[in-house]
Structure 1
Amino acid sequence: MGTIYYGGSATPIHIDDRALAHLKVVVATKLRRGESFTLSWKHPEDEERGRSTIWLHPSIPLRFVFDEPESPELSREWLEELAQTANSSGGMMLVAEHIENGDDEPEDTSPQAVEVSRD
Structure 2
Amino acid sequence: MGTLTYDSKIAVSIDDRVLAHLQAVVWAKLRRGEQFPFTWTDPMRSGMGRTSVWLSPHVPLSFEYFGSRQPRLNPAWVEALTKAANSPAGLSLVPEPDDPAAAR
Determine what percentage of the aligned residue pairs are the same residue. 43
**Would you say how many aligned residue pairs link Structure 1 and Structure 2?**
99
Q: Structure 2: give runs of 5+ residues left out of the alignment.
A: 100-104
TM-score when scaled to structure 2? Answer: 0.86
CA distance in 2, matches of 1:58, 1:20: 18
User: Alpha-carbon deviations, 1:66-90, whole Å to 9, x = none?
Assistant: 0010101100110000000000011
Three-state SS of the structure 2 residue aligned to 1:12 is: strand
Aligned partner of 1:6 in structure 2 is: 6
User: Could you list the runs of 5+ residues in structure 1 that have no partner in the other structure?
Assistant: 101-119
Equivalent residue, structure 1, for 2:102: none
Aligned to 2:82: 83
* Cα root mean square deviation, aligned: 1.8
How far apart are the structure 1 equivalents of 2:47 and 2:80? 27
State the TM-score, normalizing by the size of structure 1.
0.75
Moved over 2 A (4+): 43-50
Secondary structure, in 3 states, of the residue corresponding to 1:60? Answer: coil
Quick check: which one's helix share is greater?
2
Q: How does 1:32-71 map to 2 (within 5 A)?
A: 32-44=31-43, 47-48=46-47, 50-71=49-70
Q: Secondary structure at the match of 2:73?
A: coil
More relative contact order in 1 or in 2 (CA 8 Å, sep 6+)? 1
Q: Distance in 2 between matches of 1:45 and 1:13?
A: 10
Q: Distance in 1 between matches of 2:44 and 2:8?
A: 27
3-state DSSP of counterpart to 1:35: coil
